[in-house]
Structure 1
């Protein structure tokens, strides 16, 4: 034990910047999940809404429910959308989600709007797209539609413990260093 204490005096202070770096990285990635760069909002009653998708990947179609709505209903889960590429004119497959799907990332923005995922689609190339709600009567007029990049639940399961670990390393490094240095 006596041989380890001198080494701890030098290595425990390294936990402070290492833990701070990990916590800042996790906070930055979580902030991008909460407020993504690519976000399109429109009403379900709007026809041929133009979207600019800057990168390939999976995107989520969500219903944005205003705050203080107690009974939100479930009819919006059966809404259908048509997506077409403005460049090629090809249709893109839309995959509706089940309302009982447990592996979804639910978000609430700073205004209290709750975002419920109702479907996904795969963007093969960046560019301009058009989206139309084929069944707008299934979505209440006060609800809005939101298009955002897909966030894997596994990513959240990694970022949240990473944030906790980074904070614990920083605080633990400060406490342990101050104890060993006194």
Structure 2
């Protein structure tokens, strides 16, 4: 979400980058997340079971952060939010120096893996290419997919990691080059 916030701040003139600044983006939901729409629908009572589960784990009503991530141009988004997304994406494309995105929510073997496999399967994502929460297309923010490669020495890194893995929570895979976020970050330095 930090990447989306940074794009929005740049687009609205709240800040500027120094010439020495390097923007590294990690799984930024540049068009929002279907997870937001899914939770909002669950909390609305359209499915009693889902609402009960969401209430049980303290997710209803959806908080402001969740509301602000409604998927761009989808039913839960607004025209103001859609415009804000477009402006943030433009700032993102003009300023981002490196990005890590994912097209596979399975990720590294960890205690978080089952959660993101469930999210990737249950949330009605627009694409199967997602990290469980953020779709690859959303993370790319309008950048050409040809910019992305699947090895850790690619500046724009398309991984096979879930959302928690893209935050460096579980280190690197031993052999799979598309699952080495820490090594990727080290190579950027």
Q: TM-score, normalised by structure 2?
A: 0.24
Structure with the higher strand share, 1 or 2: 1
- Bigger radius of gyration among the two: 1
**Bigger RCO (CA 8 Å, 6+ sep):** 1
Q: TM-score, normalised by structure 1?
A: 0.25
Structure with the higher helix share, 1 or 2: 2
